Structure 1
């Protein structure tokens, strides 16, 4: 599934090809069209049958969920780093196959736990099955249920301050620490990863507003990183 930024960028390029206007003008027009659509939907005032996206428009994103995503994204990226390091720079195939699959399956475990915990949180907020299937890009309810494992329920309980389920081992504690930004959680590492990912993948400078939604301190950090990455690209091309 495309991010909102990528979807807007693709739509702007299509509009640019159709109208001949500049990319910046096309992007601005796409943004205005989206705002007009949102205003029209609000004026219609039709309550959703289920708690889908319209129900949550005026609600802020819960901080525990953003911290949850940052924590697991950091862990996933770390495992992918080790998998890439083993695959690209090691020469022992016997070691490579074991270590690479270990790290990739560790990354997959974190990803499934993250997806499941967000899904369980939305379920508890009353989001309907139709929307959960849609967000998870599956067709059947049992495919949604597959994400809702005992580890997920344990993790969610810790994240939301609920008592630990019976036989809880580790994920309740991790969830509690994510919510309090302590213990297992390392916000400074997560911030470094977030800045690096924005600098690497942000649609900038094509979209000069690409980082405007970021807090000023993070935006400055991202903009400071971009020239360093560009210098590295030019250095590699020269070699």
Structure 2
């Protein structure tokens, strides 16, 4: 007979294969489901009735969603850069705390808008609330619904070429520009950021095939950046070097 822990681990692995979430997230989901079972809410929480991952396995990722992620990742990275830069030159702590938090909350606003817009897109495609809860790592449907703000609905409408739900605002225009790669969107900046992130966080050279999935031009750009970074590191003085 399996132990309780082994049975839960096996259930988590099955859920991981089904949903694509991490093992840790699947294990936590199993724990939460069993908690709800004990509270008498089994059917409402653990029985998906709409579309799940299997429905989309043979579907390509919508281009507008990858463009959406690129746009907001660029904006988030820009605000994080500003926040880091504040610490380099602000000598007045009062100014530092205000400006740093302004930049970080701007980044957070873009992240929430990005998450909400992807979730609303999936909702409109019929993805079951059960899976949205899992992907968003929340316990209740209300926590999912909280992402569907008027700003998100406006942004999604612009992204998908629909009229704005209400009077069009800035985020409808931004969504339209993301889809058309014009205006507010800046594909060259997005590609530069992608190259920089691959150069910083990719597993190359430990994994010689780490960049094989990238287009050849982007591969070349990433490898060139890695060479520059290594050259810069090799010219830095070692600790204690140059001390009198």
Shared fold (TM-score, shorter chain, > 0.5): yes
- Alignment match, 2:179: 179
| Structure 1 residue 101 displacement after superposition | 0.5
Q: Superposition pairs for residues 2-81 of structure 1, below 5 Å?
A: 49-81=49-81
Which residue does 1:234 correspond to in 2? Answer: 234
Instruction: Find the residue that maps to 1:238 and give its secondary structure.
Output: coil
Q: What's 1:99 paired with?
A: 99
Report the equivalent of 1:28.
none
TM-aligned CA deviation for residue 168 of structure 1: 2.7
- 1:218 paired with 2:195, answer no
CA apart distance, 1:89: 3.0
Partners of 1:231 and 1:220 in 2: CA distance: 17
Q: Structure 2 CA distance, aligned partners of 1:196 and 1:174?
A: 24
Residues 1:126 and 2:104 aligned together: no
> How many residues are treated as equivalent by the alignment?
193
**Structure 1 residue runs without a partner (length 5+):** 1-6, 8-47
Residue 153 of structure 1 is matched in structure 2 by 153
- Post-superposition Cα deviations, 1:51-98, rounded to whole Å, max 9, x if no partner, equal 222211111111100000000000000000000000233211111111
TM-score (norm 1): 0.77
Q: Kindly state the Cα deviation for residue 49 of structure 1 after the two structures are TM-superposed.
A: 5.0
- 1: distance between equivalents of 2:219 and 2:74? 19
Q: What residue number does 1:109 align with? A: 109
> Is 2:197 aligned against 1:197?
yes
Moved over 4 A (4+): none
Partner residue in 2 for 1:188:
188
Distance between the aligned counterparts of 1:77 and 1:220, measured in 2? 22
CA distance in 1, matches of 2:166, 2:49: 36
Instruction: Give the number of the structure with larger relative contact order, counting CA–CA contacts within 8 Å between residues 6 or more apart.
Output: 1
Question: Which is higher, the Rg of structure 1 or of structure 2?
Answer: 2
| Distance in 2 between residues matched to 1:184 and 1:132, nearest whole Å | 29
Q: 1:49 to 1:207 in 2, by over 3 A?
A: farther
The CA deviation at 1:105 is 0.3
Aligned counterparts of 1:104 and 1:153: Cα–Cα separation in 2: 23
Counterpart CA distance in 1 for 2:56 and 2:81 is 35
Q: How much has 1:100 moved relative to structure 2?
A: 0.3
